[in-house]
Structure 1
Amino acid sequence: MSKEGKIVFCTGGGCTAKLGAGALSRILEKLPRGARDPSLLVGYDSRDDAAVYRITDDIALVQTVDFFPPMVDDPYTFGQIAAANALSDVYAMGGEVKTALNLVCFPESMDLNILGEILRGGAKKVAEAGGSLAGGHSIADTGVKYGLSVTGLVDPKKMYTNDSGKPGDKLILTKALGVGLICTANRVGEAAPEDMAGAIASMTTLNKNAAEISRKYTVHAATDVTGFSFLGHLHEMMGGKLSCIIDARMVPVLPGAEKAADDFLYTAAGQRNRNHTGPYVTFENVPFAMEEVLFDPQTSGGLLLAVLPEEASALEAELQAAGLPAKIVGEIIPKTEQEITVKY
């Protein structure tokens, strides 16, 4: 711990700490399924963002959990980022946040005031989401980890899933990419202060506003872009039955992210993402730094929405009017031999 009482650098913080998608899939596919509960509308076998369990014809529970080590020095900021990241899965399913439970791993030897700041940051975001912080669980550990278990509600007839897009749908990304690269650069003292400030502003922004705006439009599928990268989550959206074309020039990128990639400040998680998703992707004249941005693991990333084509421009404009860097970045097409084509 530093003299200022800040959290010391933690290797693999944020969503870079996730297990790789390939390794996780191999484990999950071996788990016993048991009898199918018809009220479990979305479970872990769908690779979706959260579980959805129907209570009535009009009400379903949305359940999710997420926690990770710190990726920034300030504990209050870390608490906000971790909470915003966990809350995002409810928004990606089209739901509203209702309750949250703290998940804490914390060393007994560390100043408890640091833990207090982490929890204060998390509580701020739960309140901003309109939810109630209802308790939690803590254990003594060798390192700091924090996150939330979140419960939301959604009308099962209006919920979003990640692989229900249709050919012709436009793809809209609501936040800029590159936080993993910028945080890596920051850990080695190579990120400009204003670039790190931009990454923090992005990570602490809830997807609440974007989700609420999106409900006015015909959204066929949605996911939030986190540790598996833009291309990794896009691969999940295609679901083995669709393909897509991405215009890399339209993808919003945080200032400093491409420079970090050019300076070879990669994350191990980014390379795992490339190894897992790369075989499904064809790049056409895309600069290597931009490839790295597209494989970069995001912490508290934006929503990726598959929208009825005739409504996409209006949704993009309303998201931008709300202060979000949202852009139409591509479109879904019928399944072809190449799943994802990225042009520049």
Structure 2
Amino acid sequence: IAATNAISDIYAMGAQPLFALALLGVPINVLPLEVIQQITLGGESVCAEAGILIAGGHSIDSVEPIYGLVAIGVVDPKQMKRNSGAKPGDSIILSKPLGVGILSAALKKEQLSDTAYQDLISITTKLNKPGQVLAQLDAVHALTDVTGFGLAGHLLELCRGAKLSAQIQWDSIPVIEEAVKLVKEDVYTGASVRNWHGYGHEIQMSGSFSAWHQHLLSDPQTSCGLLVACNPEASDQVLEILRSDGFTNAKNIGTFAEGSGLSVV
């Protein structure tokens, strides 16, 4: 998951990954060697899928296990997509379903079903490779990935960068089914609350929405999907590129407009 998350940052700018450097921290003489090998092999397998090697790195003695990558890539400056290029009328497309933060919280509380655990792993270990293809389309104006600030936070970043507002339709947002069930049972992360405190004043929601809707919008994601701003006439093409690469939950969730802030309807 950590390796996928790191490399996906490269894809989110429309870049091609070249190689990675690994950081491994383990409690020496505490964590079994077999576990350490599984961690490193997991990272290597993701890098192999991305077509790159781990060219080196650093290992340290740590109180808790730590693993991460520094991913290096290259991009044509003319095709690099930033989070500030959205235009009024652009469609907003999300490639992966929300809710992995809630599933992670349930896992820590031993409340996660086997099926939802498999969903968590499959979603967070899927590389955002289509970003490299989408960046080549002139109709794609902005691109980012949804991570720690949640869907609402990263969408607001696109809004601020382009000095625009956004409107999204709740029923169009792809969400992991069990995440909805869990959040209705008050399973969510503290980070989602902190996220909402940080930007909730920029979001308009009607009285028909509840606190659990807020927790999903601000749910911190790890290795989650791409958020794409594109010409509405190209939205079908963008969705086809995503779905043909296995992003079957990709959906058009809203539009950008003049103004500021985010509204959810």
TM over 0.5: yes
Corresponding residue number in structure 2 for 1:321: 244
Residues 243, 333 of structure 1: 8 Å contact kept: yes
Summarize deviations over 1:29-67 as a string: whole Å, max 9, x none: xxxxxxxxxxxxxxxxxxxxxxxxxxxxxxxxxxxxxxx
| Deviation larger for 243-252 or 183-192 | 183-192
- C-alpha displacement of 1:216: 5.0
User: Residues of 1 paired with 2:133 and 2:99: CA distance?
Assistant: 24
Summarize deviations over 1:110-149 as a string: whole Å, max 9, x none: 2122111111000111111111210111111110111100
Summarize deviations over 1:287-316 as a string: whole Å, max 9, x none: 432221111000100000101111112221
Residues 248, 286 of structure 1: 8 Å contact kept: no
| Deviation larger for 234-243 or 316-325 | 316-325
Corresponding residue number in structure 1 for 2:214: 291
Corresponding residue number in structure 2 for 1:91: 11
**Paired residue for 2:203, among 260, 269, 281?**
281
Corresponding residue number in structure 1 for 2:226: 303
- C-alpha displacement of 1:92: 0.7
Superposed CA RMSD in Å reads 1.3
- Write out aligned runs for 1:109-128 (5 A): 109-128=30-49
Secondary structure of 2:57 counterpart: strand
User: Residues of 2 paired with 1:106 and 1:283: CA distance?
Assistant: 45
User: Residues of 2 paired with 1:290 and 1:314: CA distance?
Assistant: 29
- C-alpha displacement of 1:165: 0.8
- C-alpha displacement of 1:272: 0.9
Q: Larger relative CO (CA 8 A, sep 6+): 1 or 2? A: 2
> Does residue 227 in structure 1 map to residue 227 in structure 2?
no
Paired amino acid for 1:122: G
Paired amino acid for 1:222: L
User: Residues of 2 paired with 1:126 and 1:321: CA distance?
Assistant: 21
User: Residues of 1 paired with 2:12 and 2:237: CA distance?
Assistant: 20
Residues 286, 342 of structure 1: 8 Å contact kept: no
Paired amino acid for 1:184: A
- Write out aligned runs for 1:1-344 (5 A): 81-108=1-28, 109-208=30-129, 210-215=130-135, 217=137, 218-239=139-160, 241-284=163-206, 285-324=208-247, 325-336=249-260, 339-343=261-265
User: Residues of 2 paired with 1:222 and 1:216: CA distance?
Assistant: 12
Secondary structure of 1:252 counterpart: coil
Residues 231, 294 of structure 1: 8 Å contact kept: yes
- C-alpha displacement of 1:237: 1.0
User: Residues of 2 paired with 1:232 and 1:140: CA distance?
Assistant: 35
Secondary structure of 2:177 counterpart: coil
User: Residues of 1 paired with 2:117 and 2:213: CA distance?
Assistant: 18
Secondary structure of 1:123 counterpart: helix
Paired amino acid for 1:301: C
User: Residues of 1 paired with 2:170 and 2:243: CA distance?
Assistant: 19
Residues 5, 222 of structure 2: 8 Å contact kept: yes
Summarize deviations over 1:169-208 as a string: whole Å, max 9, x none: 1010000110010111122121221011111100010001
Residues 94, 160 of structure 1: 8 Å contact kept: yes
Unaligned runs of 5+ in 2: none
User: Residues of 1 paired with 2:5 and 2:245: CA distance?
Assistant: 20
Residues 243, 340 of structure 1: 8 Å contact kept: yes
Secondary structure of 1:166 counterpart: coil
- C-alpha displacement of 1:104: 1.3
Q: How many residues align?
A: 260
Paired amino acid for 2:246: G
- Give TM-score, length-normalised by structure 2: 0.94
User: Residues of 1 paired with 2:13 and 2:133: CA distance?
Assistant: 14
Residues 198, 255 of structure 1: 8 Å contact kept: no
